[in-house]
Amino acid sequence: MFKSKQEGSLVYKCTVRLLDDSDVVECEFQAFHKGIYLLDYLCGELNIKEKDYFGLRYVDGSKQRHWLDLAKSLIKQSKDLDPILFSLRVKFYPADPFRLTGISRIMLYKQLKRDLRHGRLYCSFGEAAALGALIVQEELGDYNEKFHIGDYVSSLELALRQTENLEKKIIELHKKREAGQDSFLAIHDFLGIARTLETYGIEPHPVKDHRGSQLYVGINNSGISTFIAGKRSQHFRWNEVHKINFEGKMFIAHLSYTDASREPKKHTIGFKCPSGAACRYLWRCAIEQMLFFTLPNSENAAVVSGGGFFSWGTKFRYTGRTEREILTENINALREQKINGSSSSKRKASSVPATPSSPQGELSQIRYSSLPRSTMSEPLGSCNVQMNRNHIYGAHPQDQNTCIIDSNGCIQMPILEPVCEESRLRSSNHDSANYFSKPLTGFPYRELTEHSSTESGSGYDHSRKHKENIKPYTGYASRLCYPQANSNSSAVLSRGTSPKTIYFDEKVSVLEYANTSNEYIANINKPLNRGPYFDTSATKNVTSLVGKTGHLNCRIKNLGNKTVSWIRHRDLHLLTVAESTYTSDQRFTSIYNKQTGDWSLQIMFAQIRDSGVYECQVSTTPPVGYTMIFSVVEPITTIPGGPELYIDMGSTVNLTCVVKHLPDPPYTVHWTHNNQDINYDSPRGGVSVITEKGDITTSYLLIQRAKISDSGKYSCLPSNANPKSVNVHILIGDHPAAVQRAHSLLPYSCKMLVLTIFAFLKLSI
């Protein structure tokens, strides 16, 4: 079939849902684009290196799922879709998730969270609680009794059957977790548990066996399994599967295995699918999974045919890399990185760019819409804010005893990395020169902070171990950097040479070689050129009300020409870069105050889901960050005993209003009676209010000698929380129910009396 130029130049629009359904990417493509171009573009935008583990799924008009064929035309596969909607999902779950690097591992974690939430990752009660506690740890951070009050996990959607008992167990496990564990360690532990479950990587396909019994077939990296009531009943490994085929609605697997007597056996099993389309989908999933995890490479992949005489034949050829190819390329890349790293003492790291990367090559023909936009920037995969992230991402940090030195001294000193030997100064019992505890070279180091002018210019005898009138610092942490002898260029840590620079916290004392070998010049109290660093005096815990605007303030010193970004840890989402918002959620705004140097993240109309850990990151090499905890609370106003209260006439009415979960106590707590302000100075008397403010604000309304007129609706109105009302009934006698019934029947009795009198008069006439 021939196409006109006009038809070939048409632009089609599609929407791609990410693993968070609220995050979508809108793309445009043309008729000649194949499925591989769209996947390549998305993985490039999300910085996914192992793209072959992922795929794009869609649902056709008959509600049948399909994986987008990467070798076929996009428009041919989506011609019946309106609108054209794809979902980015993990297609192949690796047996060892820790082999994934960068953002790929985070995406697998998000996929498994989704599987647990939708019931695909089926597990026991204890396993579900352990996984849920790790999700809470990753999203909310360490347990904090001040912020984590009551059933604080109920707002999180963690599991398909999220019962009250499960939430209590999750809270219990979250409280027991060791403090200081960041989100990356929680993700690591989550993947370690998930990979051991029988339903890991399983997409359940409903089928029936030869008896007509309902069961599910699941396929993953290990083979083909059958499940009954959530339990695996059969499992056939890939080395036992000889051939996979389908015939109409029947899915057929030919097995070749060795029994207990070590005799080769052949067996054929079949399962009936709900429809022919479902059977073809199951067959294709099985073929792709088997080839991806068993083929050594995809170059010699044969064309696989399926279907029989009474069904439509289908041919399939695997495209893309196999798992073995991916692992081989990753190992080779690590070897090259290690070889290149050994030739240079500088570590390679990337920082957050000011603008997102753009596609190149043929992918540039796919137009990317700016709204809605929700991607994760490239440097997140290589962000080395803490050393344990290197381990999680699969990096191999260099020797931490290496110190980078240039001609000006030790200036290559990342704030968060211990690249220099840490020591402490100790003061001796007598007036003498100070020594470091177990120095690497055995060289005695003098304290240089209170030398006189004559001492600073005098020669220094290396053999002399005591010096008069020296008052050494006590317990100051220092970093020592050793230059190579007779060299002014960059050097690594070396033994047996004298020190050139000694750091004392934010002060530095520099020793430089003078004209003679025994003369040095001491530059005392010279400010340390440490680059950007954070002012930690500001609070790290910020609380905001639901629907209000919250601000996270980050104060940075010596920023220079570096860029400040805000990152949300829950999903490693890049929110802002400099003063530009980089997410589709326009509630997030970065505000810079030139006078104070503060970079504030403004969150408008804060919601409960916005609670979690946020990071203010500076684009140094490697990037450095400062984490803050943002808690969004919804105030709760309660009146115990409500909504109906029955009080005997003549007794005292005592109404208690309790207000919880407020960042600040309410300015006022107002009471009304039948929507009218209560007059505490009325001639009636006996009405008073007592309010106790604090973390929990309590207001007491006391009404003495209750009367019938005191009945009605009483409302408690805190100035910064929702109101709460209660209906008070003042009763006469000891039988509230009878009295209440009499009151309710009174209007009815009056009506009946009127009707009776009217009927009697009419008959008399």
- Statement to judge: residues 499 and 537 lie in one domain: no
- Statement to judge: residues 670 and 749 lie in one domain: no
Percentage above 70 pLDDT, the chain: 68
Radius of gyration over every alpha carbon of the chain, rounded to an integer in angstroms: 36
Residue 288 domain-assigned? yes
Going by the DSSP 8-state scheme, the letter that residue 34 receives in this structure is B
325: closest CA among 304, 295, 300, 286?
295
pLDDT of residue 544: 86
697: closest CA among 635, 643, 652?
635
> How many Å apart are CA 390 and CA 386, to the nearest integer?
8
Average pLDDT, the chain: 73
> How many Å apart are CA 539 and CA 574, to the nearest integer?
22
pLDDT of residue 184: 86
Token readout for 46 is 């999300």
Burial class (CB in 10 A: 0-12, 13-18, 19+), 93: buried
Residue 512 domain-assigned? yes
> How many Å apart are CA 272 and CA 208, to the nearest integer?
5
pLDDT at 664 over 60: yes
Q: Reading across the β-sheet that carries 367-368, which strands appear in turn?
A: 65-67, 54-59, 85-90, 11-17, 24-30, 367-368
695: closest CA among 664, 738, 655, 719?
664
pLDDT of residue 750: 53
Domain span holding position 694: 636-731
Percentage above 90 pLDDT, the chain: 30
Residue 345 domain-assigned? no
Query: In this predicted model, which residue has the larger pLDDT, 652 or 483?
Result: 652
pLDDT at 88 over 60: yes
Instruction: Yes or no: say if 546 and 608 are a contact pair by the CB < 8 Å rule.
Output: yes
Q: At what angle do helices 183-194 and 103-118 cross, to 10 degrees?
A: 60
- Statement to judge: residues 182 and 229 lie in one domain: no
Going by the DSSP 8-state scheme, the letter that residue 62 receives in this structure is T
Confidence of residue 69 (pLDDT cuts 50, 70, 90): very high
> How many Å apart are CA 539 and CA 28, to the nearest integer?
45
Q: Which of 278, 306, 323 is the last residue of a domain?
A: 323
Look-up of token digits 């002012």: 535
- Statement to judge: residues 668 and 692 lie in one domain: yes
> How many Å apart are CA 278 and CA 272, to the nearest integer?
10
> How many Å apart are CA 50 and CA 54, to the nearest integer?
8
Residue 249: which CATH number?
2.30.29.30
Residue 84 domain-assigned? no
Q: Which of 508, 527, 546 is the last residue of a domain?
A: 527
- Statement to judge: residues 587 and 487 lie in one domain: no
pLDDT of residue 734: 55
Once rounded to an integer, what is the mean pLDDT over residues 82-96?
Answer: 93
Torsion from C-alpha of 351, 354, 355, 360, nearest 10 degrees: -40
Task: Using alpha carbons, list the distances in angstroms from residue 606 to 21, 164, 439, 549, 550.
Answer: 20, 26, 53, 6, 7
- Statement to judge: residues 725 and 741 lie in one domain: no
111: closest CA among 94, 136, 127, 99?
94
Once rounded to an integer, what is the mean pLDDT over residues 169-190?
Answer: 88
Residue 353 φ/ψ region, left for φ over 0, alpha for ψ in the -120 to 50 degree band, beta for the rest: beta
pLDDT of residue 125: 92
> How far from chain centre, in Å, is Cα 496?
47
567: closest CA among 436, 385, 717, 721?
385
Give the pLDDT confidence of 125-146 residue by residue, as tens digits.
Answer: 999 999 999 999 998 888 888 8
Residue 708: which CATH number?
2.60.40.10
Residue 22 domain-assigned? no
Three-class SS state of 627? strand
pLDDT of residue 477: 33
Q: How many CA atoms lie within 13 A of 412 on its CB side?
A: 18
- Statement to judge: residues 622 and 714 lie in one domain: no
pLDDT at 416 over 60: no
Once rounded to an integer, what is the mean pLDDT over residues 426-444?
Answer: 35
Per-residue three-class SS string for 397-441: CCCCCCCEEECCEEEECCCCCCCCEEEEEECCCCCCCCEECCCCC
Confidence of residue 189 (pLDDT cuts 50, 70, 90): very high
- Residues sharing a CB contact under 8 Å with residue 74, sequence separation 6 or more, in sequence order: 12, 14, 29, 33, 34, 35, 37, 38, 68
- Residues sharing a CB contact under 8 Å with residue 502, sequence separation 6 or more, in sequence order: 445, 448, 478, 480, 508, 509, 510, 511
Once rounded to an integer, what is the mean pLDDT over residues 595-610?
Answer: 89
Confidence of residue 433 (pLDDT cuts 50, 70, 90): very low
Give the pLDDT confidence of 91-130 residue by residue, as tens digits.
Answer: 999 999 988 887 899 999 999 999 999 999 999 999 999 9
Confidence of residue 311 (pLDDT cuts 50, 70, 90): low
Predicted model pTM: 0.48
Token readout for 210 is 């030869």
Token readout for 115 is 């599987």
Residue 453 domain-assigned? yes
Tally the residues of the chain: 765
- Statement to judge: residues 499 and 606 lie in one domain: no
Once rounded to an integer, what is the mean pLDDT over residues 172-200?
Answer: 89
Confidence of residue 529 (pLDDT cuts 50, 70, 90): low
- Statement to judge: residues 673 and 741 lie in one domain: no
Q: Which of 266, 299, 323 is the last residue of a domain?
A: 323
Residue 245 domain-assigned? yes
85-90 vs 11-17, strand pairing mode: parallel
- Statement to judge: residues 680 and 744 lie in one domain: no
Three-class SS state of 146? coil
Query: In this predicted model, which residue has the larger pLDDT, 635 or 363?
Result: 635
pLDDT of residue 579: 87
Token readout for 440 is 């690497």
pLDDT of residue 210: 85
Task: Using alpha carbons, list the distances in angstroms from residue 637 to 146, 167, 688.
Answer: 18, 23, 20
Give the pLDDT confidence of 374-415 residue by residue, as tens digits.
Answer: 333 333 333 333 333 333 333 333 333 333 333 333 333 333
**566 - beta bridge partners?**
576, 616
pLDDT of residue 163: 92
370: closest CA among 21, 27, 11?
27
Q: How many Cβ atoms are within 10 Å of 278's Cβ, its own excluded?
A: 18
pLDDT of residue 224: 95
Residue 565 φ/ψ region, left for φ over 0, alpha for ψ in the -120 to 50 degree band, beta for the rest: beta
Backbone angles phi, psi at 479, to 5 degrees: -120, 130
- Statement to judge: residues 480 and 452 lie in one domain: yes
pLDDT of residue 403: 36
573: closest CA among 23, 93, 138?
23
507-513 vs 501-504, strand pairing mode: antiparallel
Q: At what angle do helices 125-140 and 183-194 cross, to 10 degrees?
A: 160
Three-class SS state of 222? coil
Q: How many Cβ atoms are within 10 Å of 145's Cβ, its own excluded?
A: 7
Give the pLDDT confidence of 616-656 residue by residue, as tens digits.
Answer: 999 887 788 899 999 988 888 899 887 888 888 888 898 99
Confidence of residue 753 (pLDDT cuts 50, 70, 90): low
* Number of independent structural domains in the chain: 6
Going by the DSSP 8-state scheme, the letter that residue 239 receives in this structure is G
> How many Å apart are CA 356 and CA 376, to the nearest integer?
9
Instruction: Yes or no: say if 749 and 757 are a contact pair by the CB < 8 Å rule.
Output: no
Residue 384 domain-assigned? no
- Statement to judge: residues 510 and 441 lie in one domain: yes
576: closest CA among 585, 293, 66?
585
> How many Å apart are CA 726 and CA 673, to the nearest integer?
10
Confidence of residue 312 (pLDDT cuts 50, 70, 90): low
Going by the DSSP 8-state scheme, the letter that residue 73 receives in this structure is B
pLDDT of residue 478: 32
**718 - beta bridge partners?**
669
541-545 vs 550-557, strand pairing mode: unpaired
